[in-house]
Amino acid sequence: MNSGAEAVETALKAMRKWGYDKKGIEYPKAEIIVADGNFHGRTTTIVGFSTDPDSTSRFGPFTPGFAVVEYGSLEAVKAAITPNTCAVFVEPIQGEAGVVIPPKGYLKGLRELCTANNILLILDEIQSGLGRTGKLFAFEHEGIRPDGITIGKALSGGLYPVSAFLSSDEIMDVFTPGIHGSTYGGNPLACAVARAALDVLVDEKLVERAAELGAYLKTKLEAIPKDKINAIRCIGLWAGVDLKPEAGGARKYCYALKDRGMLCKDTHVNTIRLAPPLVITKEQIDWAVQQLTEVLA
């Protein structure tokens, strides 16, 4: 497909159709379990199960069939499962929420719950995937295999709209010719760009690089004076820096950093999210952390 949101829409359609065609759920009763704090894109179905008022307000009425549960809680997922549940769909790490890393064992627990109940486990790797966390995919940190993933963004090195839903034949088979598509989905230019970007990822060892430089970034971030900082989460080349409420919100610091030539994003009022390019150098990390230190001071 083109945008990440379209890859997610494709995945949602596959989850539901698998539920009817393969699991035998009565039509149209399929339910998908999702997590609070999620960000999966901006289409009407997707924002319908967002818990962020900025995404949802005044865009309803929304698509039914989603159960929203607490992110990171296996108990909450367990309690939401019904005979009509076709899939659990979550981000392995929540990016827009501020690089929120779930408790250890969460993905493994989801895998076990889904397998035991004949439910698909589909992960949104659009932001976390393709090297960002120091693994090719974030789910590898827990050694599990999901039933499907969505990818986008880095699939073209951020250069061109191209996204995908990846899964097994057994699940993909629910799409027979003519029932799903897009004028520009899988167009030759996008595919050529994606193939080149994936070659760069492998040839330049960007996944390994993200792991190594991510550890360096973490050490540097943790050394910043803590006057205004509440918490730091860093995995690979991806970090959320939570500011104390008295710091007055993350956005002004992001603007100040922009003026110094460093782009990052405020999320949920008090968090600065850093997602540097995987080709960043150690010297550039030193420079970036210096800018952040100065701006916070």
Among residues 49, 124, 137, 139, the one annotated as catalytic is: 124
CA-CA distance, 170 to 22, in Å (whole number)?
9
- Output 126 or 174, the one with its CB closest to ligand PLP: 126
Q: Decide: 22 and 55 in contact? Cβ < 8 Å.
A: no
Q: Decide: 271 and 52 in contact? Cβ < 8 Å.
A: no
CA-CA distance, 195 to 162, in Å (whole number)?
11
Please report how close the Cβ of residue 198 comes to ligand PLP at its closest, in angstroms.
17
Name every residue whose Cβ is closer than 8 Å to that of residue 70 and which is 6 or more positions away in sequence. 35, 36, 76
Among residues 39, 89, 137, 165, the one annotated as catalytic is: 39
Please report how close the Cβ of residue 74 comes to ligand PLP at its closest, in angstroms.
21
Active-site residue 153, yes or no? yes
Active-site residue 203, yes or no? no
- Output 25 or 34, the one with its CB closest to ligand PLP: 34
Taking Cα atoms as reference points, which of 235, 233, 255 lies closest to residue 243? 233
Please report how close the Cβ of residue 39 comes to ligand PLP at its closest, in angstroms.
5
CA-CA distance, 130 to 101, in Å (whole number)?
17
Consecutive H or E run containing 31 = strand 31-35
How many residues are there in the chain?
297
Please report how close the Cβ of residue 42 comes to ligand PLP at its closest, in angstroms.
6
- Output 48 or 152, the one with its CB closest to ligand PLP: 152
CA-CA distance, 123 to 145, in Å (whole number)?
10
Which residue number has the CB closest to ligand PLP?
4
Give the Cβ contact number of residue 282 at 10 Å: 12
Q: Which residues bind ligand PLP (CB under 6 A)?
A: 3-5, 8, 39-41, 91, 95-96, 124, 126-127, 152
- Output 38 or 81, the one with its CB closest to ligand PLP: 38
Instruction: Supply the residues annotated as catalytic.
Output: 39, 124, 153
